[in-house]
Structure 1
Amino acid sequence: MNPRSEPLLWLQLVALGAVPLELLGLVLVLAGADPGPLPGLERLLAWAIGALGPAILLWQRPADVCSLLVIQVPIKARSGAQLSLAALQSSLVLKLLMAAGAAALLPLFWWIDQHAALATPLSPLAASPRFVGLLVACPLLAVITWQWQQLIQTIALLSRNPATLPERPPLSLQELVSQRMSLGLPLLLLNPLLTSQPAASVAGTVAIQPEETAEQAEGTDLDQQVG
């Protein structure tokens, strides 16, 4: 099994650019209204709903390695390699990194809300109630938490030598449904990437040999006739 041949892992690296844009979206939606009388409590509740809750759910059922949140590989169409990759998602280290990222969102969200007023002229929710801004911020926090887990999973799998990956039996389809969080429409079907030179070139080289043998034999017959 070579994780680098799975195109979905490379597609999930898009989160490196998407997460900063989502953080910018938090700035814009929070800039639509001034904080209420208890801004600390508002931030804590929004973080608990948008980040802590999804983090607890993803701890129990990690984000599916073949799901891009809005689109996924159909469950029944999963290959053996994809089911083996899913079996590697239960690492405790990956779960701890996911939880650390969700925890880090609290001070980051706090800082963003404190400085969001600088972007008030650009906010699409200008003059909206504070509740609306916090309501829109919650799904953004959830998406960031999801993408953070998929990003650390992808980097961990792509950065390791395939020969050093532990041998684990692939998940069954029933285990995949019950142990992994698969979101999105089941419409994604991609062929594995080629990670080595195709054997066709080698076969082509071997195929030339009979022609060379025939030419050599023909040349020998001509020499005999001339002799």
Structure 2
Amino acid sequence: MTPRGEPLLWLQLIALGVLPLEALLLLLVLAGSDPGPLPGLERLLCWAIGALAPSLLLARRPADVWSLLLLQTPLRGRRELQRRLSRLQAAPGLALATAGGAALALPLLWWIDGHAAVAAPLTPFASCPRLVALLLAALLLVVMLWQWQQLIQSLWLLSRSPEVVAATRPLSLEELEQQRLCLGLPLLLPEPLKLAEAVAPPEATPPDEARNTPAAEPPVEPERPPEAQIPEAPPDTQAPEAPPASPPSPAVELPASESPDTEVPSSESPDAEPPVAEPSAVESVAVEPEQPPEEAEGADLDQEIG
């Protein structure tokens, strides 16, 4: 919240170049008429109308800083920052600066009126009555005093820090209408200025320090938990007993078609194909009849007795 982003504050600084031009125009106005029998009194009356009375009014109701005398920013269209800055106008130093400008206007008017005859050949206001010339001079003094106050106020507000502005309470619309002198048509709605923030360049590391700087270590991967290992049986542990062997299978006679010289394809060779049994080959199985156990035992006893 910085006041330097308000464009109207910068426009008010044009008064630095306009005030000398207005003083030159005042010289041309006074050069168009001859001074009367009491030039000192005439100058005092002109100063009282053009500088003293307006300074008393501006001390009570300062000139609105968002007014350019002919144009102004609408009261209802003002931002919060603008209303905060309007409250900062009520400073004792600004009132003293306005009074000082009114006091300086008297010697300026006195000196210009005394040397106005120099610009008589160049003035466009030739053969102008003295009263009209004094009234025009008083009007120029009012404008010069207005611009003087606006110039001082703008310099004052531009020098305020963002912290001071943020701590100031905004001025309400009713207070603006009662405490500030807002002149001009409400047609000004300028957008705030976008000030670029300065970015500090990165500091360059000297070569000596760059060499001494340790290299960045590679990232350490987290250790993975060891895989579950199958516990091995101790050497002394005896293997479980094998189940009893089954009785020998009966003898199987091979068919006559198959001879012992027939080559059996090896299962290890990948290209060998399993043998295909022919439908004509029939396996014959000779089964020996089992003798009953009682008869076998009786025959053995008879042999022992005999």
1:90 aligns with 2:90: yes
Structure 1 residues 145 and 166: CA distance shift in structure 2, 3 A? farther
Partners of 2:80 and 2:61 in 1: CA distance = 20
Partners of 1:58 and 1:141 in 2: CA distance = 14
Cross-structure match for 2:216: none
Alignment of 1:126-165 (within 5 A): 126-165=126-165
Q: Shift in Å at residue 165 of structure 1?
A: 4.8
Cross-structure match for 1:184: 184
Q: Deviating runs (4+, > 6 A) in structure 1?
A: none
Cross-structure match for 1:41: 41
Structure 2 unmatched runs, 5+: 199-306
Q: CA RMSD in A?
A: 1.4
SS at match of 1:89: coil
Cross-structure match for 1:2: 2
Alignment of 1:4-43 (within 5 A): 4-43=4-43
- Is the contact between residue 74 and residue 186 of structure 2 (CA under 8 Å) also seen in structure 1? yes
1:68 aligns with 2:68: yes
Structure 1 residues 114 and 6: CA distance shift in structure 2, 3 A? same
Deviations 1:35-86 (A, max 9, x none): 1001011000001101111111000000001000110001111110110010
Deviations 1:177-211 (A, max 9, x none): 0000011110001000112449xxxxxxxxxxxxx
Cross-structure match for 2:57: 57
TM-score by length of 1: 0.84
Higher relative contact order (CA 8 A, sep 6+): 1
SS at match of 2:150: helix
Partners of 1:147 and 1:71 in 2: CA distance = 14
Q: Shift in Å at residue 164 of structure 1?
A: 4.6
Q: Shift in Å at residue 34 of structure 1?
A: 1.4
Percent of pairs with identical residues: 61
- Is the contact between residue 26 and residue 112 of structure 2 (CA under 8 Å) also seen in structure 1? yes
Partners of 2:100 and 2:119 in 1: CA distance = 28
